[in-house]
């Protein structure tokens, strides 16, 4: 055993109840609020120089002392994290800001989406707690990731997804060996049934380890965004970070990660954090704009950003609202037209992402157009999934040449025209 002395337990964000680090917990058993892992940050700060973090490869485990795992020997990893932060001076000029960076998860995640940052932590907890299987509810990406890490850890996996989940995403989960269960309904409905199954029917004693929407350990993996951005920018934090929002615990955990970096004197300021949603399904934006304290469910319309269409994010949405307020950020929705335009713009910059993931750039562009950005701004747009995740939309948006060159003479003639 290689113990993590800095992870000291979890605490309920509602009633404040505390739980020891070895407690297998999802929501607070007393008040049903989200719980949050706690670390001995002061001790970590003191001992940090001796840990030689700078020499570790950039994965989510580089800052493993600030992840809620108790035994480093049990870490389940496929090399997730260490996404490149790509400077895009052309886009910065277009938006009239000092700098714009794209954090390209799609090109550095084993299963092609941001889910790997969090599922790697969940799989590690499953091994620590002695489970034999992982489970999750998913619109596709989380299922593929859960299946991959289960395979890596030698566990079984079961994925519950809306019946109309894109075939390739289901196929990926199946390839890793998952049992895939298709459920009639959209994601909020599947999510409700899945929670009921795991909580009510098993009295919290599910035989599968839940990598779904309430797992407090899983979400901590998303703090790695803050660590990676802080390190890539050499301690000068961006002014604003834009993130594609379903739940969106990524923003909540980025806030936590940036606050830790600030306390560790690894950055100089907190960035403002922005939730980016599709106009067709924007419960967080609706709550933000109306000044509500909680997020209400909405009707889900049709959008190309299917991975973000979480119509009723519940507690997660409320936590996100609090983060947007605390960091002086905001919530922005865009239409599919803007989204697809931003996606193509990324392609012309050499970045191939799934259309949903381009929403962070589309939202930044929307703010630029409405005059809310400054010329001094340094923006980071998190691009959270690979272009390979949605080839259907890609094939609809390019024109594959029908002409076939039949001979060398034809080739030479064609080339002379170019």
Query: What's the min distance (Å) between Cβ of 5 and its own copies?
Result: 25
- By CB under 8 A, tell whether 290 contacts its own copies: no
What angle in degrees, to the nearest 10, is found between the helix axes of 115-129 and 141-153? 40
Q: Which of 149, 209, 225, 258 binds its own copies (CB under 8 A)?
A: 149
Segment near its own copies (CB under 8 A); pick from 3-11, 40-48, 326-334, 381-389? 381-389
**C-beta of 211 vs 373, nearer to its own copies:** 211
Q: Which residue has the tokens 């109840």?
A: 17
What part of residues 55-84 is at the interface with its own copies (CB under 8 A)?
55, 57-59, 77-79, 82-84
What part of residues 168-207 is at the interface with its own copies (CB under 8 A)?
168, 170-172, 174-177, 179-184, 193, 196-197, 201
Segment near its own copies (CB under 8 A); pick from 39-47, 147-155, 218-226, 284-292? 147-155
**C-beta of 197 vs 322, nearer to its own copies:** 197
- By CB under 8 A, tell whether 121 contacts its own copies: no
- By CB under 8 A, tell whether 415 contacts its own copies: yes
Segment near its own copies (CB under 8 A); pick from 124-132, 219-227, 307-315, 383-391? 383-391
CA distance 84 to 82: 6
Give the H or E element holding residue 102: strand 99-104
CA distance 79 to 59: 6
What part of residues 325-364 is at the interface with its own copies (CB under 8 A)?
344, 347-352
**C-beta of 196 vs 325, nearer to its own copies:** 196
Least Cα distance to 136 among 214, 250, 34, 204 occurs for 214
Q: How many CA atoms lie within 13 A of 228 on its CB side?
A: 28
CA distance 101 to 296: 32
Query: What's the min distance (Å) between Cβ of 84 and its own copies?
Result: 2
Size of the site for its own copies (CB under 8 A): 79
SS3 state of residue 325: helix
CA distance 159 to 208: 11
Query: What's the min distance (Å) between Cβ of 207 and its own copies?
Result: 9
Query: What's the min distance (Å) between Cβ of 129 and its own copies?
Result: 19
Segment near its own copies (CB under 8 A); pick from 34-42, 106-114, 303-311, 331-339? 106-114
Query: What's the min distance (Å) between Cβ of 169 and its own copies?
Result: 10
**C-beta of 174 vs 322, nearer to its own copies:** 174
Query: What's the min distance (Å) between Cβ of 413 and its own copies?
Result: 11
Least Cα distance to 120 among 164, 74, 163, 159 occurs for 74
CA distance 346 to 242: 15
**C-beta of 35 vs 153, nearer to its own copies:** 153
- By CB under 8 A, tell whether 49 contacts its own copies: no
Segment near its own copies (CB under 8 A); pick from 51-59, 124-132, 236-244, 256-264? 51-59
Q: Do residues 268 and 233 make contact, with C-beta atoms less than 8 angstroms apart?
A: no
- By CB under 8 A, tell whether 400 contacts its own copies: yes
CA distance 341 to 347: 10
Query: What's the min distance (Å) between Cβ of 399 and its own copies?
Result: 7
Query: What's the min distance (Å) between Cβ of 86 and its own copies?
Result: 6
Least Cα distance to 313 among 287, 279, 289, 335 occurs for 287
**Residues paired with 103 in a beta bridge:** 85, 382
Phi, psi values for residue 154, rounded to 5°: 75, 25
**C-beta of 117 vs 256, nearer to its own copies:** 117
Q: Would you state the torsion angle of the CA atoms of residues 280, 367, 290, 269, taken in this order, to the nearest 10 degrees?
A: 120
Structure tokens at 25: 């917990």
Q: How many CA atoms lie within 13 A of 32 on its CB side?
A: 5
What part of residues 86-105 is at the interface with its own copies (CB under 8 A)?
86, 90, 104
């Amino acid at each position: 055993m290689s113990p993590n002395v800095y992870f000291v337990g979890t605490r309920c964000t509602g009633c404040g109840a505390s739980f020891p680090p070895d407690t297998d917990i999802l929501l607070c058993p007393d008040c049903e609020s989200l719980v949050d892992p706690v670390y001995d940050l002061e001790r970590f700060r003191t001992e940090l120089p001796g840990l030689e973090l700078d020499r570790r490869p950039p994965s989510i485990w580089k800052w493993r002392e600030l992840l809620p795992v108790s035994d480093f020997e049990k870490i389940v990893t496929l090399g997730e994290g260490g996404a490149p932060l790509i400077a895009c001076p052309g886009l910065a000029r277009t938006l009239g800001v000092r700098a714009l960076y794209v954090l390209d998860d799609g090109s550095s995640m084993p299963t092609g989406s941001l889910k790997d940052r969090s599922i790697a932590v969940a799989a590690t907890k499953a091994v620590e707690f002695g489970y034999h299987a992982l489970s999750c509810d998913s619109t596709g990406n989380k299922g593929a990731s859960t299946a991959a890490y289960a395979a890596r850890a030698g566990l079984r996996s079961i994925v519950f997804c809306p019946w109309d989940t894109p075939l390739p995403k289901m196929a990926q989960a199946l390839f890793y060996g998952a049992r895939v269960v298709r459920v009639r309904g959209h994601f909020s409905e599947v999510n409700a049934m899945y929670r009921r199954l795991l909580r009510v029917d098993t009295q919290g004693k599910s035989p599968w380890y839940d990598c779904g929407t309430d797992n407090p350990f899983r979400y901590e993996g998303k703090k790695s965004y803050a660590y990676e951005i802080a390190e890539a920018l050499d301690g000068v934090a961006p002014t604003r970070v834009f993130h594609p929002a379903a739940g969106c615990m990524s923003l909540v955990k980025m806030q936590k990660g940036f606050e830790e970096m600030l306390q560790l004197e690894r950055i100089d300021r907190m960035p403002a954090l922005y939730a980016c949603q599709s106009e067709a399904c924007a419960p967080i934006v609706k709550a933000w704009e109306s000044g509500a304290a909680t997020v209400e469910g909405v009707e889900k319309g049709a959008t190309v950003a299917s991975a973000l269409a979480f119509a009723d994010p519940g507690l997660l949405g409320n936590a996100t609202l609090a983060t947007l307020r605390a960091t002086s950020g905001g919530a922005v929705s865009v239409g599919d037209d803007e989204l697809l335009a931003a996606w193509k713009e990324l392609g012309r910059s050499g970045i191939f992402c799934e259309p949903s993931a381009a929403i962070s750039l589309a939202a930044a562009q929307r703010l630029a157009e409405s005059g809310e950005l400054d010329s001094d701004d340094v923006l980071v747009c998190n691009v959270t999934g690979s272009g390979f995740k949605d080839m259907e939309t890609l094939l609809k948006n390019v024109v594959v040449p029908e002409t076939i060159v039949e001979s060398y003479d034809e080739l030479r003639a064609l080339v002379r025209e170019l």
